[in-house]
Structure 1
Amino acid sequence: MKGSAKVITHLQALLNNELMARDQYLAHANIFKDWGLHHLHERLRHEMEEETEHAEALMERMLFLETTPDMNGHLDANVGTDVVSMFKNDLAVEYEVDKALKEAIAVCEEEKDFVTRQVLVKLLDDTEMDHAYWLEQQLRLIDMVGLPNYIQAQMRKGSEG
């Protein structure tokens, strides 16, 4: 089924963002692992896996719409140098993706591509309710308890939060 050129343009831009977010989360996860912040490593690995799933969903939809995803156009990751800068960089990506998803959803409605819209709404829910919310929560916790206390709490393994 041939897709709308407008929708496909937005899907490609979203794919570029998801691939960059995946790479950024992977880099941050591995840095946290190296620093011994096991809880943050586990959480960011989870985020990286979800970004990969988002990229796969976009690619599958693009292929269904008879276009080949461009895997070479994704943006450079913005890797932080400390816990706070990593979280702020990741949150900036999530805000960017949130905005792009909302724009793409509006285009899908204009183009009457309600199936693609449905795919994007699920990604938007993950972006707002899981990824961005968690990052906002971590930055708030750092402000509340201080960075040293926050970091100490992130050394444990195997718990959610």
Structure 2
Amino acid sequence: MQGDPEVIEFLNEQLTAELTAINQYFLHAKMQDNFGWTKLAKYTRAESFDEMKHAEILTDRILFLEGLPNYQRLFHVRIGQTVTEMFQADRQVEVEAIDRLKRGAEVMRAKGDITSANIFEDILADEEHHIDYLDTQLELVEKLGEPLYIAQLIEQPSEA
């Protein structure tokens, strides 16, 4: 089925964002694990995998619309050095995604591509959930301070 070029461009732009987020979240998860913040690392790794699922859905839709998924570009990967910087960097990715998804869904509906609009709206719901989580974590860091916040992220290995 031949898709509208503007719709395919929005799908590809969001695909680029998802591919960027996969890398950013995965590296943050690896850094968090290396720092000993194992609980946070597990959550962040799962977020990276969620972004991979979004990328798969977008890839399938682009191919269905006879477009070519663009896996050759990434947006700027923002890597934090502290837990606060990581949350802020991840939050910025989500803010940009939410704006793009809202604009894209509106264009898709106007062009009569309800399925693509629904895909964007489903991803939007996931991104809104993630930004809510990040906002909560940033508020906790602000209230508790980084050292106390980080203390609750540490898991001791189980005895062998």
Q: TM over 0.5: same fold?
A: yes
With CA pairs under 8 Å and 6+ residues apart, which has the higher RCO, 1 or 2? Answer: 1
> Secondary structure at 2:3's aligned position in 1?
coil
**Gap runs ≥5 in structure 1:** none
- Pairs within 5 Å for 1:1-161: 1-129=1-129, 131-156=130-155
Offset at residue 70 of structure 1 (A): 1.1
8 A contact 1:32–1:40 mirrored in 2: yes
Q: Percent sequence identity over matched residues?
A: 33
What TM-score do you get using the length of structure 2 for normalisation? 0.95
**Gap runs ≥5 in structure 2:** none
CA distance in 1, matches of 2:76, 2:26: 13
Paired AA for residue 54 in structure 2: H
CA distance in 2, matches of 1:26, 1:118: 27
CA distance in 2, matches of 1:2, 1:93: 30
What TM-score do you get using the length of structure 1 for normalisation? 0.95
The RMSD of aligned alpha carbons is 0.9
CA distance in 2, matches of 1:57, 1:19: 12
8 A contact 1:15–1:74 mirrored in 2: no
Moved over 2 A (4+): none
